[in-house]
Amino acid sequence: MSAVKGDVGGVVGRGPRELAADPSLDVGRIRADFPVLRRTVAGGKRLVYLDNAATSQKPHQVLDAMDTVYREHNANIHRGVYEMSEVTTALFEGARGRVAAFINAPHSREVIFCRNATEGINLVAYAWGRDNVKRGDRLIVSILEHHSNFVPWQQLAAEAGAELVVIDIDEGGRLRRDQFEAEVAKGARLVAITHTSNGLGTVNPVKELTAIAKAAGATVLIDAAQAVPHTVVDVQDIGCDFLVFSGHKMLAPPGSGALWGRTEILERMRPFLYGGDMISRVAVDTTTWNELPWKFEAGTSAYVDAIGLGAAVDYLTAVGMERVHAHELELVAYVLPRLLEIPGIVVYGPHTLEARVGVISFGLEGIHPHDVATIFDREGVCVRAGHHCNQPLMTRLGCVATTRASFYLYNTIEECDVLLGAVAKAQRIFA
């Protein structure tokens, strides 16, 4: 099927009207948009890519949007009055508008482009945290956090003389709501919580947690790196103060991502980086800052990556995030019970479909996860083995690493069968 142009920000593979009549995904048509999925590996086996929690593959619509910039109108944004610069600037700012709409931000000026969720969290930790967190304050995180939403707050607490409070999980891998409520009631300057665990696939009730935290006077940051690519995320509905996500996990290139923050908070924050483009006026004795969002986008932005992110948003919007989420749960509903039936396997985290995404972490008795992943690779199956930037969580689970399979909109039931076959082969080899 021929591609259709979006109004700005690149190309999308199909329009929403073409898919609207079908409540399920046409995965075959979607897979055709991803060039890398055509390749064979491991001596001719078809590639089965199940490492989507680490990074996603890119459709040709995103690749084409970026390639067009480089080939036809590559020019620095904001600073040029010639046509190529104006075209690229319009695409860059158009991508910002798309991202704002995708997460239902009230204003596009509240969307700060950054390299990834990690940079967005660090921006808040420095530009908000250094001015607002004082000795004796309490910062609340959870044991589910990615290091990106743990280490910045750990370091800020140490510098400021604040207390870092870590909320535990229950044996099913779900956040302990009772402990969260009890700790927030003791006082909290900041609650920084993951929307969706990259290690277990657990989805936290972030709207409810945010309401509890806000009622206690806390500022709330949501790490949505594993949520925005896989389900509908609405910042106004959640009610948080900050939300971050990475583009590379949602079909966009590495180097793209965004921080969303409330206007009234962002305007009070100091800049994170100093230099070009983030200034209003520079004199020998003083400097004034640019307006939002550019106050936080110093130097030449990764404008091609941001345009790629806009094209990825177009693609996912056309497919429909409800359908993406439903498709992932269909895959989990197929593979999870079959994994649980295998003797010698431990599945970490939720064993049900309730409040989860398409991430399954497991261990095979007597086999190190790295060995498991190596054997899987020989079968053409790409999974992640390690601590997944979740070392506190691994300690809580009593293991040093897990094998993690993570699904996305282009994965199939047939690929789930290949995964199950790879598990059986690993067990035979180590029997």
Q: DSSP string of 224-271?
A: -TTTTTTS---HHHHT-SEEEEESTTTTSPTT-EEEEE-HHHHHHSPP
Arithmetic mean of pLDDT, 326-349? 97
* DSSP letter, residue 36: G
Residue 18 pLDDT exceeds 60:
no
Residues in the chain, total: 431
The vertex-236 CA angle with 232 and 242, nearest 5°, equals 95
Please report which confidence band the pLDDT of residue 14 belongs to, taking 50, 70 and 90 as the band edges: very low
CATH of 72-317, one of 3.40.640.10, 3.40.50.720, 1.20.120.1200, 3.40.718.10: 3.40.640.10
Residue 17 pLDDT exceeds 80:
no
Residue 190 pLDDT exceeds 70:
yes
Task: Report the predicted TM-score, pTM, of the whole model to 2 decimal places.
Answer: 0.94
Burial of 402 (0-12, 13-18, 19+ CB in 10 A): buried
Enclosing H/E stretch for 180: helix 177-185
State phi, psi for 226 to the nearest 5 degrees.
-100, 5
The confidence score (pLDDT) of residue 9 equals: 32
Listed in sequence order, the residues at least 6 apart from 320 whose beta carbon sits closer than 8 Å to its beta carbon are: 16, 19
- Looking at the DSSP assignment, which residues form a beta bridge with residue 14? none
Residue 22 pLDDT exceeds 60:
no
Amino acid present at 261: G
Query: Measured between alpha carbons, how far is residue 412 from residues 212, 245, 250, 329, 381 in Å?
Result: 39, 25, 18, 12, 13
Q: Answer whether 72-317 and 321-429 agree in fold.
A: no
Amino acid present at 19: L
Amino acid present at 245: F
Please report which confidence band the pLDDT of residue 2 belongs to, taking 50, 70 and 90 as the band edges: very low
Please report which confidence band the pLDDT of residue 16 belongs to, taking 50, 70 and 90 as the band edges: very low
- 259 vs 19, higher pLDDT: 259
Residue 21 pLDDT exceeds 60:
no
Residue 247 pLDDT exceeds 50:
yes
The confidence score (pLDDT) of residue 8 equals: 30
State phi, psi for 197 to the nearest 5 degrees.
-75, 125
The confidence score (pLDDT) of residue 42 equals: 81
The proportion of the chain whose per-residue pLDDT surpasses 90, expressed as a percent, equals 93
Going from N- to C-terminal start, the domains of the chain cover 72-317, 321-429
Tokens of 308: 């790629």
Q: What's the pLDDT tens digit per position in 219-243?
A: 999 999 999 999 999 999 999 999 9
The confidence score (pLDDT) of residue 20 equals: 41
Q: H-type helices in 16-125, by residue range?
A: 16-20, 27-31, 60-72, 83-102, 117-124
321-429 homologous superfamily: Aspartate Aminotransferase, domain 1 (3.90.1150.10)
Catalytic residue among 114, 240, 389, 399: 389
Cα–Cα distance measured from residue 8 to residue 92, given in angstroms and rounded to the nearest whole number: 9
Residue 23 pLDDT exceeds 80:
no
In this structure, the strands spanning 345-348 and 287-289 are unpaired
Asked if residue 293 has a cis previous peptide bond (ω within 30° of 0), the answer is yes
Averaged pLDDT score across all residues of the chain: 94
What b-and-e string marks burial along 185-216, b requiring 16 or more CB atoms within 10 Å of the CB? eeebbbbbbbbbbbbbbbbbebeebbebbbeb
Enclosing H/E stretch for 41: strand 40-41
Is-catalytic flag, 240?
no
